[in-house]
Amino acid sequence: MSINNKLTNFAQKELVLAHNKKERESIIRSLNNLERSLNDEFGSEIDTFLRFGSFTRNTILPRIYDPNSDVDLMVIFNAEDGLYSPSTYRKWISDFLTVAYPRSISKKDFPAIKLELNHIKFDIVPAYMTSNFLWGTKFYIPDNNGNWKTTLPNEINDQLADKNKTYGDNIIRNVVRLCKYWNAAFGYPFQSYLLEKQIIDLIFWGNENTYSRFLKTIKVIGSDFNTVTNAIYWIKEYEKRGEEHKQVQWFQKLLPGFQG
C-alpha cells in the first residue's frame, strides 16, 4: 500500500468520529438531552437551536486524537417580544448549566459558555436571529463589548464542501483532519476554526492527493516549527530513495498515532 493510501486510510477511518459508533452515539445523545433540557427550562424564550462547527462539517476528531474536541451549539432566543442584553442570556445559560450539570465543568469562554462532560465538550452560544424577504436570515451573537454582532455560523461548511468536491477523493477534508490532529499533538498552537479556514483558503498548483496536499499544507501552517521543517525534508528525501518505512517514521513525528 502506498504512503498516500496509508495516510488516506488514517484520515478517513481513524480520524473520523463516525467510525467510533459508541463515541458518536454518546455525543448525539448528550446533545439531544442538552437541547431538551434547555427547552424545558426556557420554553418559549427559545426560538430554536443551531448546531454548527466541525461536528456539522465532519471534521471533528475522536477525543483519543483531540482531547479538546467540542460541539458548537447556538441557542437562538426568541426576540419578537423584546430583546435582552447578551450578558443576560449568557447568565441564563450559565445558571441553568450549574444546576442541571452540577458535576460537570461549566465556565464562560466568550462568547460561548463551555460545558465539559466526560466524553465531549460543548460550546454553547446565546444568539437571536432576524428574517425578512430582502436580507434573508441574519444571526447575532455577543461581541467583546457586551453588544450583539452578526455572524455566519456555518460559513465555511459550504466552502469546504465545494473545495472538497472540486479536488475530489475527499482530499481537502482528509487534510483538514490530519492538520487538526497535528495541531492537537503540538499543543494547539492554532485555534481550530481558524486553522480549518486557513487550510480551505490555501491554493496550490500541480497534482494533488492526500499525501502531497498534506505536505504542502503543513509546510505553510507549520513553517515556524523546526519539527515540521525537518520532517518534511526527510519525508521527501526518503521518497527519493524509495524508503517508505523511513517516511512513515518521520510522519509519526507529525502524527504520532499514524501507524503506516
pLDDT of 32 higher than 90: yes
Ordered alpha helix ranges (H), the chain: 3-9, 21-42, 54-57, 86-100, 155-167, 171-185, 192-201, 210-221, 226-241, 244-254
Considering only residues 247 and 206, tell me which one the structure prediction assigns the higher pLDDT.
247
In angstroms, the Cα distances linking 64 to 13, 55, 59, 95, 97 are: 13, 16, 14, 31, 26
Residue 108's pLDDT is what?
65
Share of the chain above pLDDT 70, in %: 99
Q: Between β-strands 121-132 and 70-77, what pairing exists: parallel, antiparallel or unpaired?
A: parallel
Residue 206's pLDDT is what?
77
Distance CA 1, CA 260 (A): 9
Distance CA 229, CA 109 (A): 33
Distance CA 216, CA 205 (A): 10
The average pLDDT across 106-114 equals: 79
The residues with which 109 forms a beta bridge, in sequence order, are: 112
Q: What pTM was estimated for this model as a whole?
A: 0.93
Q: Check if the beta carbon of residue 18 is closer than 8 Å to that of residue 58.
A: yes
Distance CA 63, CA 23 (A): 9
The average pLDDT across 148-165 equals: 93
Q: Check if the beta carbon of residue 89 is closer than 8 Å to that of residue 83.
A: no
- List, for residues 55-68, the tens digit of each pLDDT value: 999 999 999 999 99
Q: With bands split at pLDDT 50, 70 and 90, how would you rate the model's confidence at 105? A: confident
Cα Rg of the chain, angstroms: 21
Q: With bands split at pLDDT 50, 70 and 90, how would you rate the model's confidence at 1? A: confident
Going from the N-terminus, what domains does the chain have, and what CATH number goes with each? 3-14+156-254 (no CATH), 17-154 (3.30.460.90)
pLDDT of 23 higher than 80: yes
Considering only residues 105 and 250, tell me which one the structure prediction assigns the higher pLDDT.
250
- The mean-pLDDT minimum among 104-113, 202-211, 238-247 falls in 104-113
Q: What is the mean pLDDT of the chain?
A: 94
Residue 119's pLDDT is what?
86
pLDDT of 189 higher than 90: yes
Distance CA 192, CA 207 (A): 27
pLDDT of 135 higher than 90: no
Distance CA 168, CA 52 (A): 24
Residue 20's pLDDT is what?
87
Q: With bands split at pLDDT 50, 70 and 90, how would you rate the model's confidence at 184? A: very high
Residue 103's pLDDT is what?
81
Considering only residues 166 and 49, tell me which one the structure prediction assigns the higher pLDDT.
49
Distance CA 114, CA 110 (A): 9
Amino acid (1-letter code) at residue 34:
L
